Amino acid sequence: MSGFFCFVAMEIRAVILDLDGTLVDTSSEIALALDTTFSELGLASLPRGNVEALIGRGVRSLVERALIQVGAPAQDVDAAVERFEHHYARILGTQARLFPRALEGLRALHAAGIRMSVVTNKPRYFTQRLLQRLGVEAFFAGFVAGDDGIARKPHGDMLLAACRIMGVGIESALMIGDSDNDVRAARAAGCAIWCVPYGYNEGRGPETLACDRMVATLEEAAELITGKLDPGPSPQQRRPG
């Protein structure tokens, strides 16, 4: 599906946003919480880049894969997750920042009457607290989180749940994310997917993302959606291969 097709064949009434790596840069806090956890457990720390590549599948997956990387696969994962969540809760929102032009994008979409929601594999408590601390919770009709009991991304169920919250059909929604997880979830749900190039994507480059369009910022996405920016003759991001 091309970006041009999205404009011609559908009216975007709602936007579903990924959180970590798309809306908010959370990597410094996650890396610090993981480093503190591993230090407490007597384990080596991971470089920041390695931690960023682990973001996106939820807390347990992040901790479990991090333990494997430092050569401690036999470590009690439940105990490590508990300590990570303890440390993360303590620093949440102290270093995390909205990505550049993200706030402007949210304001533009809100002003245009576009409904918005967040879909993330992050636990609900952390998600809500982070949005509150960054002062952007009010922009969203709601959010769907990783511990809501819904099949997580890359399944499409969370996106469908977000559309129910926003009161729109999935065919009128656009997903904006930063990873293959987001692309696969959008394809499974049946909605268009745009990606930003600055996210985590599990350490892979943005050129690997089989999205409908690549947008430099959320503000650019908002300008395209609201018609303030010409989409151009060939805006699509083709599937690799």
Residues 31-88 have pLDDT tens digits of 999 999 999 999 999 999 999 999 999 999 999 999 999 999 989 999 999 999 999 9
Tens digit of pLDDT for each residue in 77-96?
999 999 999 999 999 999 99
Tens digit of pLDDT for each residue in 145-193?
999 999 999 999 999 999 999 999 999 999 999 999 999 999 999 999 9
Separation CA 205–CA 77 (nearest Å): 29
- In sequence order, the 6+-apart residues with CB closer than 8 A to the CB of 67 are 43, 73, 75, 77, 80
For the entire predicted model, the pTM comes to 0.91
Burial class of 11 by CB neighbour count within 10 A (0 to 12, 13 to 18, 19+): exposed
Would you name the residues annotated as active-site residues? 18
Q: What is the pLDDT of residue 10?
A: 61
Mean local confidence (pLDDT), 214-233: 89
Q: Which of 215, 124, 232 is nearest to 175 (CA)?
A: 215
